[in-house]
Structure 1
Amino acid sequence: MKKYKLRKNAEFRVVYRRGRSISNDLLVLYTHRNGKNNFNRLGVSVSKKVGKSVVRNRTRRLIKETYRLNSSRIKQGYDLVVIARTNAKNKSYRQIENSLINLFKRAGILNN
């Protein structure tokens, strides 16, 4: 649904400016408490440095699918921005999943 997505540039900028960032070799995660909502909103950014459109879209789909399957374990009320690093190119679903779950744990937003 649209209300669960970060879409506008201004929304991304708020998370970049006010949120905290955590990173590993594949991904960068920005988290910001959105306050007014009792649900999470996700934004995914994959730059052209990662690859051509097919590679970027595959990477984006892997990140979104990992989030979708693990969203019930994540604390509510956050705006999340996931940025793919160039190392994320051609990685398997399992590698992306492990990387993203690691970031959620380190950010302290993962429920057991």
Structure 2
Amino acid sequence: MRDCYLKKNIDFQRVYKKRNINGNRHITVFYRKNDLPTKRVGFTITKKIGNAVVRNKLKRRLREIYKSNFDLLKDGYDYVFVMKKSAVDLSYQDLNNSFVHICKKLR
């Protein structure tokens, strides 16, 4: 598994511009075809959600959940996961279930 993350703002903007959206109560995902043999992923948490400590904790959890469920997402796509305010209070297991639920919806 090779970790490919979206890092540049322009990459995030390309995904948002395509307007392919899916999600559930806790996470919204934007996606677009990237014409690469691998998938790339980015995580967004707005400043409206907690302080920096809370946002970083949530982002670390998401990265770990992504790594453990790497095979659920299709290759050849860029994904941007946007966290909603309700995700802050979730346990690790509930966040994992929410992530898996979205991945299954995308297939």
> Normalised by the size of structure 2, how large is the TM-score?
0.92
Per-residue deviation at 1:43?
A: 0.5
Question: 1:59, 1:3 → 2: CA distance?
Answer: 18
Per-residue deviation at 1:30?
A: 0.9
Question: 2:71, 2:95 → 1: CA distance?
Answer: 18
Correspondence 1:32-51 to 2 at 5 A: 32-35=32-35, 37-51=36-50
Please name the residue that 1:12 is paired with.
12
> Normalised by the size of structure 1, how large is the TM-score?
0.88
Question: 2:69, 2:85 → 1: CA distance?
Answer: 24
Q: Does 1:71 align with 2:70?
A: yes
CA RMSD of aligned residues (A): 1.5
- AA partner of residue 8 (structure 1): K
Correspondence 1:1-112 to 2 at 5 A: 4-35=4-35, 37-108=36-107
- AA partner of residue 29 (structure 1): V
Question: 1:104, 1:21 → 2: CA distance?
Answer: 12
Question: 2:64, 2:29 → 1: CA distance?
Answer: 16
Please list the CA deviations of residues 56-95 of structure 1 after superposition, one character each: whole Å capped at 9, or x if unmatched: 0111111111110111232211101000001111311111
- Contact between 2:32 and 2:79, CA under 8 Å: does it hold in 1? yes
Q: Aligned pairs, how many?
A: 106
Q: Give 3-state SS (helix, strand or coil) of 1:95's partner.
A: helix
- Contact between 1:55 and 1:90, CA under 8 Å: does it hold in 2? no
